[in-house]
Structure 1
Amino acid sequence: MNARQHDAIRLVLEISEREHGERLDKLIASRVTGMSRSFVQQLMKQGAILVNGQPCKPAQRVRFGDRLEVYLPPVEPPSDLEPEYLPIPVIYEDDEIIVFDKPPGIVTHPAPGHEHGTLVNALKAIRPDLQVQPSHRPGIVHRLDKDTSGLLVVAKTEPARLALLEQWQSRSVVKRYTTLVHGVVEPDSGTIDAPISRDPRERTKMAVVAWGRPAITHFRVLERFQCATLLDVTIETGRTHQIRVHCAFIGHPVVGDQQYGGNRPFCVPVPRQFLHARYLRFRHPTTGRVIELETPLPWDLRVVLERLRTLERERVPCQARG
């Protein structure tokens, strides 16, 4: 079936100034989640991708202001995901989207080593008729790490997924996190602008490297302790492990982060990495109205803060806290 038939999904992309000169197939694969370069090239052969209304080739270089049209095939039937009822609160839902307040310890979608107990398995249980691409992670627009809690948006229709993806790709979504980091962060606010890619020495980790993809993190100090700082963090980009990598890069790893903070001791028990996706602002994919959502810090992280504040009031030195 030709992807440009009447039942195809049409996605329109505008080329930004920073994307000028990039190779076309590579650009589209990076802009649209779940699309490989080989699949992009296949669509081009079918005439399902146009640049300014004209057929194109994979190696073609895009120009600032170019208008791309991508015609995606109809939605495939969902895969045989096992439905599982999990305690994941839904804080907003309508006909197009559903927003979860993901607890820690839950992976966003199935992956090797995490075939069950994911948010997608829970989604399959509560919304069994959902038919959104890609079939193995239906409606997933963005992800949160397993031990990061907070707001996560899922699309319930394919047009909604594509519209939300475009917002995430264009960086128009406002994403704010609360995190506790080791050490005393001196400036009251700042920006970390450092590219991130796969760590060349440890492929399971990410790292700041010169050849990485652009990554920008803004932070503001909320509260300082003798041995830690509570930060409000806003990310412009959404690179894998971005906040954790950037905080470690400036010498203030996230408290409880075993991967990027090592076994660095802390003065009170910490159940997991202290990172919570507390705030989202985006436009509804159908109506265009602004949706603004916020979720409070979970109880396990609140306990950590209360213990820290108690030690501060009692003026117990850091080195005596064990």
Structure 2
Amino acid sequence: MNSMKENLRILTYEIPESFRGATVEAFLRSKGYSHHVIYHLRSTEFEGRPGLLLNGEKTYTRKILEPGDRLQISLLETEDSANVVETNIPLDIVYEDEDLMVINKPAGLPIHPSMGHYETTLGNAICYYTHHTLGYPHYVNRIINRLDRDTSGLLIAAKNMLSAAILGDMVKRREIHREYRAIVAGDFRKISGERPGLYRSADRTHLTVNAP
């Protein structure tokens, strides 16, 4: 296990001419920072470093910007998701950077802990990975898209609150697209002209396609 280190994401921006006279908050909002993230930056420090620095000095969200100013953001994770325990379940990570992971979820693995699946979900696996591989003390469950338990496929997990806010907005704007592939069996040569019916099971855990 790696020694624990803080999950600190530092971002630096040089203010362009187009934001002359704008506030720090207006600039951050243009970059996808939500009100929640901005409030977090105002209220947290790391080893004496404020969440917001302008030209090397502590600043506030109402501060007026000038072209060439350097705005530094220190985004520190300080909370954990309640009731998510770590479980050593292997992860098939197909892409990872400082802000997100793309994970190939196998069929049969639920995404979020729930009754009957308290320790055997993708969330539990990412929690373990965050603590033992990345070495971060805090884990917040930020899986962006959804797949049914029995569906395999790619899922995006945000690694900090800023990437979660940006990716969440992309989902709302339908800028993240999914493509499904299904394996079917049977003789479909005589089927034509009608759309198959889609049915959900009584316990809402399975979808069935009935061809005419």
TM-score (norm 2): 0.50
Deviations 1:54-85 (A, max 9, x none): 54322235577754201345x65977742335
Report if aligned partners of 1:28, 1:40 keep a CA contact under 8 Å in 2: no
Shift of 1:33: 7.8
In structure 1, the residue matched to 2:87 is 84
Say which of 170, 193, 196 aligns to 1:317: 193
Shift of 1:145: 1.5
Deviations 1:260-279 (A, max 9, x none): xxxxxxxxxxxxxxx44xxx
Kindly tell me: are residues 124 and 36 of structure 1, through their superposed partners in 2, closer, same or farther at Cα, counting changes over 3 Å?
Answer: closer
In structure 1, the residue matched to 2:123 is 120
Question: What is the SS of the residue equivalent to 1:41?
Answer: helix
Shift of 1:11: 2.1
In structure 2, the residue matched to 1:10 is 10
| Residues 1-322 of structure 1 mapped to structure 2, 5 A cutoff | 10-13=10-13, 23-25=23-25, 28=28, 31=32, 36-43=37-44, 47-60=50-63, 67-73=70-76, 81-84=84-87, 90-92=92-94, 99-103=102-106, 106-107=110-111, 117-125=120-128, 128-129=131-132, 130-132=134-136, 134-137=138-141, 143-147=144-148, 149-152=152-155, 165=163, 238-240=170-172, 242=174, 275-276=178-179, 301-303=181-183, 311=188, 313-314=189-190, 316-318=192-194, 321-322=211-212
Distance 2:137 2:18 in 1: 28
Output the aligned Cα RMSD. 5.5
Deviations 1:167-208 (A, max 9, x none): x95x9xxxxxxxxxxxxxxxxxxxxxxxxx9xxxxxxxxxxx
Whose RCO is larger (CA < 8 A, sep 6+)?
Answer: 2
Report if aligned partners of 2:41, 2:75 keep a CA contact under 8 Å in 1: no
Counterpart residue type for residue 135 of structure 1: Y
Kindly tell me: are residues 145 and 128 of structure 1, through their superposed partners in 2, closer, same or farther at Cα, counting changes over 3 Å?
Answer: same
Percent of residue pairs bearing the same amino acid type: 21
Kindly tell me: are residues 117 and 47 of structure 1, through their superposed partners in 2, closer, same or farther at Cα, counting changes over 3 Å?
Answer: same
Gaps of 5+ in 1: 1-6, 156-160, 172-196, 198-212, 214-237, 248-274, 277-296
Distance 1:165 1:53 in 2: 24
Kindly tell me: are residues 242 and 118 of structure 1, through their superposed partners in 2, closer, same or farther at Cα, counting changes over 3 Å?
Answer: farther
Deviations 1:72-131 (A, max 9, x none): 45x659777423355x65154899886520246633x669xx965432202344665243
Gaps of 5+ in 2: 1-6, 197-210
Distance 2:97 2:183 in 1: 37
In structure 1, the residue matched to 2:205 is none
Report if aligned partners of 1:14, 1:66 keep a CA contact under 8 Å in 2: yes
Distance 1:25 1:9 in 2: 18
Kindly tell me: are residues 128 and 70 of structure 1, through their superposed partners in 2, closer, same or farther at Cα, counting changes over 3 Å?
Answer: closer
Runs of 4+ in 1 over 6 A off after TM superposition: 16-22, 77-80, 93-98
Question: What is the SS of the residue equivalent to 1:10?
Answer: strand
Distance 2:51 2:110 in 1: 37
Distance 1:10 1:70 in 2: 5
